[in-house]
Amino acid sequence: MIPQAVETAAARWRSPALLTVLAASILAGCANMKGLDTRANLRDASSVVGKNATDASVWPAQDWWHSLNDAQLDALISEALQNNPNLEVADARNRAALAQAGAADAARAPRLDAAAAYSGIRIPGTVLPPPYGDSYAALKMVSLKFSYDFDLWGGERAAWEAAAGQARAAAVDAQQARITLSGNIARTYAQLGYAWSLQDVARSELKRSQDLLGLVKQRVDAGIDSQLQSKQAQAAVPAAQQQIESAQQQIDDARLELAALVGASPDRADQLGRPHVIEPARLALPNTLPANLLGRRADVVAARWRVESASQDIKAAKAKFYPDFNLSAAVGLASLGLGDLPHWESRYAQLAPAITLPIFDGGRLRNNLAGKDAQYDVAVAQYNLTLVNAVHDVAAQISALKSLQKQVAQQQDSIRIAREAFDLAMQRYHGGLGNYVDALTVEQQLYSGEMRLAALNAQQIDASVLLVQALGGGFDADGALPGQVDASSVASAQ
């Protein structure tokens, strides 16, 4: 018999007016996303590239280093792409991102679990009298449980798409690591060639110094020159020998660095011979800023995928503000006696649909969404920065190459004139018409000019390789990426 007061209270709770007020109060107290939004805006690519950009038909191939026609360089890069630890790190991160994307995708699927349980208890007689008291009973159960979360608002799908975006970005990062590595090996290899060129210049200077010393000795013996000129000429010989040894140290350092880049022991350096002369023109690079640059650089593509991933994270965070509906069901067998367990009478079934709505959560959902908004703003800012740096990187390398080409031509003319002047000075000095100071001056000019030309050639090769890297190093954003996640429904990030 229900007391009258309780019955009256229940009737009040069932009144439509009161239920309306209660529903309004609950909705008013529900977590909401009012006032939360992103702030950053993606830069328009055309505003960064500029109006003077052109579609370049010439572009670095994925194996661009083969155009340099150096078998030793080809072998080094091939070895490095297999053994370098940095690539192992990038590949491991790629696999981790793929696993996270797979886990996010699996979370969207129904779940079926099988279980077997045993629960035993001895009930004391002080709690229940016999036959239940002072006895031991055990419940045996076997069951199948099904559960499924209805993704009404697309939150789980968005979470998967966010993880898929991160996986694609990680795959692109792995490609960028390979581009960077191949470029660094080519640059170090060019430095090895530069060191050999410095040694050639130093050896030529040593020969000139020795020839001049022999001539000075003849003139001293003839009483034409003094011991002062002799000592000056003698000092030039060990100075040239020191330059040869300094160049040898640079050769050894470049060899050791190449061994480290390919992931080999220092003994690998002893196997490296002299590089062929690398001609920058063999790379056949664009001489203007290309309009399709932004889709051909791995760092730009990866940054764009991270923006897309952050956008999907926001969708997933917003979905948590809405009601969630899930369904669980279980069927199985249960009995106290093990022998009764297989019988049909031991069957049981359970159906448990549930709907949840966040009301008061202490600001957890709002702060989570605010954090996702901020992460999106960070991703956009990083993308914009990558975009600007990419364009300026290409422009700077194109400008440097144009200037270096002119400088090399001018320096070659300067050396030609200096060599003619040196030959003339040596003829005059040998014939007694010139003096030691004139011969020494033009010798130093020739030596400085040859050193400068070697440095300019090295800078030109380095700038060419840097331009290859700035142009994406042969990266093809439309091609298949190693380990690419199957996320065809994710919006294209190109």
- Domain span at 117: 111-150+323-356
- Is residue 43 domain-resident? yes
Among 223-232, 387-396, 476-485, the range scoring the smallest mean pLDDT is 476-485
Residues 313 and 382 in one domain: yes
Residues 336 and 388 in one domain: no
- Is residue 492 domain-resident? no
Pairwise CA distance, residues 290 & 471, whole Å: 9
Residues 332 and 273 in one domain: no
Residues 96 and 204 in one domain: yes
Identity (one letter) of the amino acid at 333? L
Peptide bond between residue 131 and the one before it cis (omega within 30 degrees of 0): yes
Pairwise CA distance, residues 193 & 364, whole Å: 61
Pairing status of strand 135-150 against strand 111-123: antiparallel
Residues 116 and 243 in one domain: no
Radius of gyration (C-alpha) of the chain in whole angstroms: 39
Residues 131 and 256 in one domain: no
Query: CA angle at residue 166 from 165 to 170, to 5 degrees?
Result: 120
Pairwise CA distance, residues 441 & 438, whole Å: 5
Contacts by residues 131-137 (CB-CB < 8 Å, ≥ 24 positions apart): 137/336
Identity (one letter) of the amino acid at 197? S
Question: Who's near 457: CB < 8 A, 6+ residues apart?
Answer: 194, 197, 408
Identity (one letter) of the amino acid at 425? A
DSSP letters spanning 103-152: HHHHTTS-EEEEEEEEEEEEE-TTTS-TTTTTEEEEEEEEEEEEEEEE-T
Pairwise CA distance, residues 328 & 149, whole Å: 9
**How many Cα atoms within 13 Å fall on the side-chain side of residue 448?**
8
Compute how many other C-beta atoms are within 10 angstroms of the C-beta atom of residue 304.
27
Domain count, the chain: 2
**How many Cα atoms within 13 Å fall on the side-chain side of residue 351?**
0
Final residue belonging to a domain, choices 356, 374, 409 = 356
Pairwise CA distance, residues 203 & 451, whole Å: 12
- Is residue 124 domain-resident? yes
Residues 293 and 369 in one domain: yes
pLDDT at residue 167 above 70?
yes
Identity (one letter) of the amino acid at 299? D
pLDDT at residue 227 above 90?
no
What is the pLDDT averaged over residues 242-264? 96
Structure tokens at 237: 């010989």
Structure tokens at 252: 């050894």
Which pTM value belongs to this model? 0.81
Q: Tell which wins on pLDDT, 97 or 344.
A: 97
Could you tell me the CATH number of the domain that includes residue 345?
A: 2.20.200.10
Compute how many other C-beta atoms are within 10 angstroms of the C-beta atom of residue 388.
13
Check residue 115 and give its pLDDT.
93
Check residue 312 and give its pLDDT.
96
Residues 73 and 119 in one domain: no
The pLDDT-based confidence of 489 (bands split at 50, 70, 90) is very low
The pLDDT-based confidence of 487 (bands split at 50, 70, 90) is very low
Pairwise CA distance, residues 458 & 403, whole Å: 14
- Is residue 307 domain-resident? yes
Pairwise CA distance, residues 310 & 377, whole Å: 9
What is the pLDDT averaged over residues 200-220? 90
pLDDT tens track for 315-340:
999 999 999 999 999 999 888 877 77
Identity (one letter) of the amino acid at 98? L
List, in sequence order, every beta strand (DSSP E) within 225-341: 324-335
Which percentage of the chain shows pLDDT scores above 90? Answer: 58
Burial class (CB in 10 A: 0-12, 13-18, 19+), 432: exposed
The pLDDT-based confidence of 22 (bands split at 50, 70, 90) is very low
Q: What is the DSSP letter of 154?
A: S
pLDDT at residue 23 above 90?
no
Residues 61 and 146 in one domain: no
Could you tell me the CATH number of the domain that includes residue 173?
A: 1.20.1600.10
- Is residue 19 domain-resident? no
Task: Sort residue 390 into left (φ over 0), alpha (ψ -120 to 50) or beta.
Answer: alpha
Residues 252 and 288 in one domain: yes
Q: What is the DSSP letter of 341?
A: T
- Is residue 8 domain-resident? no
What is the pLDDT averaged over residues 42-69? 79
362 three-state secondary structure? coil
Pairwise CA distance, residues 175 & 481, whole Å: 8
Residues 103 and 188 in one domain: yes
Residues 419 and 308 in one domain: yes
Structure tokens at 136: 């031991």
- Is residue 90 domain-resident? yes
Angle at which helices 364-430 and 155-221 cross, to 10°: 20
**How many Cα atoms within 13 Å fall on the side-chain side of residue 312?**
26
What is the pLDDT averaged over residues 401-415? 95
Structure tokens at 459: 């800078």
Question: Who's near 350: CB < 8 A, 6+ residues apart?
Answer: 328, 329, 330, 331
- Is residue 479 domain-resident? no
**Distances 412 to 448, 462, 473, 493 between C-alpha atoms, Å:** 12, 19, 30, 48
Final residue belonging to a domain, choices 300, 333, 356 = 356
